[in-house]
Amino acid sequence: MGTYVQLGAVRTWYGEAGEGEPLVLMHGGLVDARFFEPNLGPLAEHFRVYTPERRGHGHTPDVAGPITYGLMAEDTIAFLEKVIGGPADLVGHSDGAFTAMLVAMRRPDLVKRLVLISGGFNKAGSAEPEGTEWDVEEIARFLGPAYGEVSPDGEEHFEVVATKIGEMAAREPDLQASELAAVTARTLVMFADDDLVTLAHMTEMFEALPDAELALVPGTSHFLTQEKPELVNRLVLDFLTKDPVETVAPIRRAPAG
């Protein structure tokens, strides 16, 4: 069971689980909160976990107009203000990771800690083979039935949403590494070792964030949260429940001077 909240033009659905400080899980593109099923239980043992579904995803109906990262970031800011009522930890995967990073850049007062899983910051970092096309019909065969199980718009609307996401993906994300300095929250950057972005892009992102830690999950792909959920959960919880350790031989984190 979940709850709807009106956030501007978007009637946003979200679930809740667990007790404690607020943690918001932000799913990837063209999927919904069910994607976090292997992760929700362990996280809810430590936090009050909220699982909002963004415009046109899951139980949340689509609205007229395009879908962009900027719009989804504003929707998330509205969710934090209206439902959470203050700052929360954000854990995002893929499109959810980049959206979470935009929230941290625009409203640092609403983000305590940030976990970015498999989300790059610029299309130049893509590891997909050159010439890869966004095939809406193929994507619909793969993801459309799951969408139809919960969407109030019905399965037939999935191709509309997939087209919008494809138009967004053709242009975004489009940040420069220098812009990541605006993220002031302590951040865990996590990728698979066979992800949709290059290893060089991962390290560039890690180095550009002011207060970042890096985790590379071996033997996984972009779906690492499902392929090795126990390891991913352990890394996320270690980051969110423990203070940084004082390292023995700091180089990147060496104090200034």
Interatomic CA distance for residues 103 and 110, integer angstroms: 8
pLDDT of residue 256: 55
191 membership: H or E segment, kind and range = strand 186-192
DSSP string, 192-221: ETT-SB-HHHHHHHHHHSTTEEEEEETT--
What is the rounded distance in angstroms from the CA atom of residue 40 to the CA atom of residue 38? 6
User: What's the pLDDT at 209?
Assistant: 97
Single pTM value for the model: 0.97
Q: Cβ neighbours of residue 139 under 8 Å, at least 6 residues apart?
A: 30, 162
| Three-state SS at 11 | strand
Kindly tell me the number of DSSP H helices and DSSP E strands found in the chain: 8, 8
**pLDDT value at position 101?**
98
Which residue ranges in the chain fall short of pLDDT 70?
255-257
Give the ranges where the chain is alpha helix by DSSP (H).
37-44, 69-79, 95-106, 136-150, 158-169, 199-208, 224-227, 229-241
Angle at 99 between CA 98 and CA 104, to 5 degrees: 95
The CA distance from 170 to 244, in Å, is 37
Q: Kind of pairing, strands 10-17 and 48-53? A: antiparallel
> What's the pLDDT score for residue 184?
97
Per-domain residue ranges of the chain: 3-129+174-241
* Contact predicate 169/94, CB 8 Å: no
Q: Classify domain 3-129+174-241 at the CATH superfamily level.
A: Alpha/Beta hydrolase fold, catalytic domain (3.40.50.1820)
